Chain A
């Protein structure tokens, strides 16, 4: 019993996630020292995670599409459209908190399916397709809405206790990660997603219906984007069409930092959670240290590029080792 435990610890210490955990702990120590302890309060940590919960929920979807060997850049546009439709729905028709989430999710799933169909039939790189659909979705939304902000939501959406405003985003983030983890690890669908990411052609030969899987994968990204966007609306209590767009790289960074392969076939939920916490700590730490917000993109850019290089280098080394 003890030896299997030790073996498990030993193999964990060789994983990407282990290094990431060490980096996270290092960051916590550094930030705590420099902020004289104000970083390491429960309040600050919870606030930080609530602030990053919407993007964190989206990262669960992005993780799935990256494992499948695809990519989706359009998810922030999908999130914005879903958020807007949801806001219009509860302002004009009403309902309750569950219908709000359901309406957003439906919009996200539909847009995700559009992405999936285009990626499947056009045989062009998914990134080019989703850059195009991002502009189509966002352009049409801005054209129809003229960029108008929405607020003054009904009481059942805007009235929240201080406890709920922290607990609801964190609970949804937790469940998004949990469901994604279970789906990837313990279901048939999850196995198929890894198979497609590992080798699409081989997956096809074993009888996996690629179109069906891609529909599921891109709809899943859309679904998580919509849920994240609804949580964001719940936190800030308004819908601004330009508030989520432009955050694609941050979410991608969380997932890639978490050890997800850039060419598919590899990735874990706990890695992504660690990546999420690291990105959140960088953002939060810069604010606490009083660094001007102009530096934010600069630091994020460096972290993103380094994480890309590190992940890619590890993958190519592993591949070489396999050949020998």
Chain B
């Protein structure tokens, strides 16, 4: 019995759980407001968007790639959804059909951007990092051209309730994130592409020679990534109650950081959804804690960078 507990502690998730516990206790001691219902509620509302963005980062990273265009793509989807809703629905009114059209458009646009990434990576053999970085600049340019730097706001209630509403006592974003995470588990465990991406991440050449159509696989990987970006965009746009070209840029680093901390090797081949979910919670707890302690925004950014380096260091040790 004792050795079993010990064995469990050695797994990554137990390490993350322990870390979470220590963090919660430390922050509660430093700031007694932390364990209040309000804080927990705001964590439950803020965590899902970060979690969904990290899910979109996860499968490209498992294949040894990355998706750095996710924030720009989410902003583009948000802007298009906002334009559809503000043009076709008069202020103060509601039209469920148009909201649905807007949401579908938002997801399709993100999937399309993902496919474009996939084409550049699979067919032109551009390294994923550079391809998605270039795509980020292009999409950001498209956003700027569409909005001319403006912020678009004014949504019908049915859309706003996605980001701020609750069903049966649970925040709607949290429900969406849970479904998203379960969907990701399903993709990884039950679909053929699930095992293919892990194989490809450990050895791309061997996967190609074992008969996997790697080009089609990469296309699918980035399309799925785009799908999760679209879902994240719905939650983000709804919670911010507006859309613009420059939102959520700081999330990019944090999404990579969460993925690495959650046990997804930047070199590909490893990573579990459970580790990712735990590390999202950890990051949100740290973020809310720093916020409560009134730490400067810029110092927080620097801290994220330092934590990312530490996470990479731990990851490197583990692989040795």
Contact = CB atoms under 8 A, between A and B. Distances in A.
A121 B310 CA distance: 12
Interface of A is mostly: helix
Interface size for chain B: under 10, 10 to 19, 20 to 34, or 35 or more residues?
Answer: 35 or more
The prevalent SS among residues of B at the interface is: helix
B299 A125 contact: no
A124 B305 contact: no
A262 interface: yes
B217 interface: no
B21 to A, nearest CB: 26
B256 interface: yes
Given A136-B306, A142-B298, A143-B298, A297 B141 contact: yes
B137 A143 contact: no
Nearest to A316: B125
Interface in A275-324: 292, 294-302, 304-305, 308-309, 312-313, 315-316
A100 B301 CA distance: 29
B218 to A, nearest CB: 14
Given A123-B316, A262-B127, A309-B126, A136 B134 contact: no
Contacts of B148: 292, 294
Interface residues of A, number: 45
A131 interface: yes
B188 interface: no
B134 A296 contact: no
Contact of B301 (A124, A135, A263, A308): A135
A301 B129 contact: no
Given A124-B312, A124-B316, A305 B305 contact: no
A140 B299 contact: yes
B16 to A, nearest CB: 19
Interface of A: 71, 118, 121-125, 127-129, 131-136, 138-143, 249, 252, 256, 262-263, 292, 294-302, 304-305, 308-309, 312-313, 315-316
For the complex of A and B, list the 7 residue pairs with the smallest distance between their C-beta atoms, beginning with the closest: A301-B138, A139-B302, A298-B141, A297-B141, A135-B305, A136-B305, A139-B301
17 contacts: A121-B313, A124-B316, A128-B312, A132-B306, A135-B304, A135-B305, A139-B299, A139-B303, A140-B298, A143-B298, A252-B133, A262-B127, A294-B144, A294-B148, A295-B144, A297-B141, A304-B137
Given A123-B316, A131-B253, 4 more contacts: A139-B302, A140-B298, A262-B130, A300-B137
